[in-house]
Amino acid sequence: MNKEKLLLIIIIIAAFFIRIYNYNYPPLLWDEAALGYNAFSILKTGRDEYGQFLPLIFKSFGDYKPGLYIYLTLPSVAIFGLNPLAVRLPSIILGSLIPLIAYLFTKKHSQNKLLPLLFAAIIALSPFNIHFSRGAWETNILTFQLLLASYFFFNKKYFWSSILFGLTLFTYQSGKLVSLLLIGALFLTNYSKSFFKKDFILKFILPLFIFSLPILSGLLWGQQGNRLEVVSLFSYPRSLEETETLVNETSKLDYQLFHNQVIFFSRNFLSRYFNHFSPEFLLTKGDWQSPRHSAPYIGVLLIPSFFFLIIGLFTTNYSTKNYLSINLFFLFWLLLAPIPAALTRDSLSAVRAMSLSIPLCYFTALGLAIFIDWFGKLKYCKLFVSWLLFLVYLASFVYYTDLYYNHMVKKSPQDWLYGYKEACEYVIENGANHDVYFTNFYGQAYIYYLFYSQYPPKNYQAQANLTIDGVDTGVVSKIDNINFETPNFSHLQLQSRPILAVFSYDDAIRQGIDLKLLTPLSPINNTSTFYGYKNP
């Protein structure tokens, strides 16, 4: 075994260890619990939580989610049971394989000998990739598919490329757009007359068309477009009050010329788009829109990567023949990846733009390779620089892991839904023969109860009743003797029948409850996200 292959194996093993270590952290989120329980339900009954037989698109909390991740989870749930490891394992495994695909991609299509290993190593240590590889995030599966599909396309294995691009339609909502944009980039950077021949149409175009039929059907005639309508930037026009203010400041003509809805939406799109390239997102803050999407006090890149990203982007000559295909393709990917996120209501979304991590890591690795080559004429100088870079990256990675493990959840435990596991265990252990009131303050408490109690899916399917409380989301208010609602402490104290209640911290404060009368279930930061109560 040569040195390069040994280093590659070390990188892949390190990537897997980083992603599977302490897999129970961070706490399980709503969507992860829903993915796991629906996989459990499919295994037990062949139906999802609502009784639908082997659906491609799953109803969840009232919206609709592509179902590929659930089916990928079936083997691990069958082997390990319904637990966080089983739910997260598909993402952990495929996230660990992304560095391997990156290596193979650049090994065949780049003349720089350092680049393949550097590309693999940067992805293995990237906060962007680590964060979404450690949880059951469909966007991580999508990123794996996009990279592998592009690799197959570059190698003229069009059928397998088409299959993978087709599967992205059943993986994650933003995959519908980003896949189309990336296919366009592949066509531009790999243009060939064979694209117009029968063989290419049968191997690439036809499979894609077949994959798209269920999605088109659901969007046109089903309810699967609800979520798109809710999160779309265009569903939130300028308010009537703001419009009237602008008109009153000048005139209707001025408004139509300079402040109309087209300009309003264009400005909002551009601000969201360029937020994904800001130093705050890349270097110092990460996803400031949602604490769940990145570690605090650091961006989605390791700190030294920002410097080498600039070198990689602006030192490369995109017009030369050697760079025309792969470098230009990754440049297109870099520019196209934020578009799905920029078309939504959020000012920034790391989760919808996660495929951006691939070109960011590519140009970072390219910048590193160029930087090291600048010292190539002096052997010992090159060796010294290589070790210095290794130590700098190691220090930056240690800093990131400290933020991830020691600060991320503690900084915003409510955002991470910390304590649902402990609250459910309290109900499971003490709730028999009691009327149970389980707060829904943090949302979707029912799915955690189903998950941690391993509630028989057949029994739940018979009573599943989700009440829509918004445009695309809903609540389940009761399962057996458990009421998912805010407990009224004053009312519960008057009851003579056995009562068990779970309060959120905010419930207790708003009702003026003396916390000494409650049992802290999930202590963190000198308080508790959940409190238990059992009447005497």
Higher pLDDT, 87 or 255: 87
Size of the chain in residues: 536
Q: What are 226-259's pLDDT values in tens digits?
A: 555 556 666 667 777 777 787 778 778 877 777 7
Contact 418, 27 (CB under 8 A): yes
Q: With 80 as the cut, is the pLDDT of residue 19 above it? A: yes
Contact 491, 507 (CB under 8 A): no
444 Cβ contact partners less than 8 Å away, ≥ 6 residues apart? 30, 33, 34, 61, 475
Nearest to 337 by CA among 177, 447, 205: 177
**Omega before residue 26 within 30° of 0, cis:** yes
What's the Cα-to-Cα distance from 29 to each of 32, 136, 202, 332, rounded to whole Å? 5, 9, 41, 33
Provide the token pair at 527: 């308080």
What's the Cα-to-Cα distance from 119 to each of 5, 114, 476, rounded to whole Å? 14, 9, 46
What phi and psi, each to the nearest 5 degrees, are found at residue 29? -95, 170
Question: By percentage, how much of the chain surpasses pLDDT 70?
Answer: 93
Higher pLDDT, 390 or 222: 390
3 state DSSP class of 512: coil
The region of weakest confidence among 98-102, 302-306, 324-328, 358-362 is: 324-328
Q: With 80 as the cut, is the pLDDT of residue 468 above it? A: no
The whole-number pLDDT of residue 70 equals 97
The whole-number pLDDT of residue 496 equals 83
Please report which confidence band the pLDDT of residue 469 belongs to, taking 50, 70 and 90 as the band edges. Answer: low
The region of weakest confidence among 212-216, 278-282, 294-298, 451-455 is: 212-216
Higher pLDDT, 320 or 318: 318
Q: With 80 as the cut, is the pLDDT of residue 217 above it? A: no
The b-or-e profile of 26-47 (16+ CB within 10 A means b, else e) is bbbbbbbbbbbbbbbbbeebeb
Chain-centroid distance of CA 266 in Å reads: 26
Residues 293-298 have a mean pLDDT of: 95
Residues 485-501 have a mean pLDDT of: 91
CA–CA separation, 118 and 273 (whole Å)? 28
Domains of the chain, by residue range, sit at: 3-231+276-411, 420-534
Average pLDDT, the chain: 90
Please report which confidence band the pLDDT of residue 221 belongs to, taking 50, 70 and 90 as the band edges. Answer: very low
Q: Tokens 């499971």 label which residue?
A: 428
Q: What are 123-135's pLDDT values in tens digits?
A: 999 999 999 999 9
Pairing of strands 57-60, 63-66: antiparallel
